[in-house]
Amino acid sequence: MTAADASFLGIAKQTAKGTMVTGDASFDYLLFTGAGMGPNNQLLPLDQEAGGGAMTRSIEKSGYFSGGTLEFIPRPKTLGHFLMGALGSVTATGVAAPYIYKFKLGSDQFDAPYYTLREAPGNLWGESAMDCRLQAFSLQWKAANFVRAQARWMGGQAFPGLSTASWSPAAKTDGRPPFITANGKIEVPDGTALKVIAGSFTAQLDIPLEEQWVVGSYMPNDFAINQRGFTMSLAVLVTPAEATLYKKILYDPAASTGWMPDVLREGLIDIELQSGATMDGSNRHKLSFKANGATGQAGNLALTSEPLALRSGKQIVLNVQATWLQDASLPIEVTLQNDVSVTY
DSSP state of 146: B
Q: CA geometry: angle at 104 spanning 90 and 173, to 5°? A: 50
pLDDT tens string for the chain (344 positions)?
A: 789 999 999 999 999 999 999 999 999 999 999 999 999 999 999 999 999 899 999 999 999 999 999 999 999 999 999 999 999 999 999 889 999 999 999 999 999 999 999 999 999 999 999 999 999 999 999 999 999 999 999 999 999 999 999 999 999 999 999 999 999 999 999 999 999 999 999 999 999 999 999 999 999 999 999 999 999 999 999 998 888 999 999 999 998 889 999 999 999 999 999 999 999 889 999 999 999 999 999 999 999 999 998 999 999 999 999 999 999 999 999 999 999 999 89
Q: Given this model, what pLDDT does residue 52 score?
A: 81
Query: Which residues, including other chains, have CB under 8 Å from residue 55's CB and lie 6 or more apart?
Result: none
The pLDDT of residue 94 is 87
Q: Where are the domains of the chain?
A: 4-37+64-338
Q: Are 92 and 301 in contact (CB under 8 A)?
A: no
Q: Which helix (H) or strand (E) holds 246?
A: helix 240-250
pLDDT of res. 309: 86
**Other Cβ atoms within 10 Å of 195 Cβ, number:** 16
Burial of 258 (0-12, 13-18, 19+ CB in 10 A): exposed
Instruction: Name 321's bridge partners.
Output: 233, 304
**Nearest residue to 318 (alpha-carbon basis) of 229, 258, 248:** 248
Inter-residue contact 132 to 115 (CB < 8 Å): yes
Are 320 and 233 in contact by the 8 Å Cβ rule? The answer is yes
Q: Tell which residue, 71, 60, 81, has the closest CA to residue 31.
A: 71
Strands (E), the chain: 8-13, 28-30, 34-45, 59-72, 88-93, 99-105, 115-120, 126-142, 148-155, 158-162, 179-187, 196-206, 227-237, 264-266, 270-278, 284-290, 301-305, 317-324, 333-338
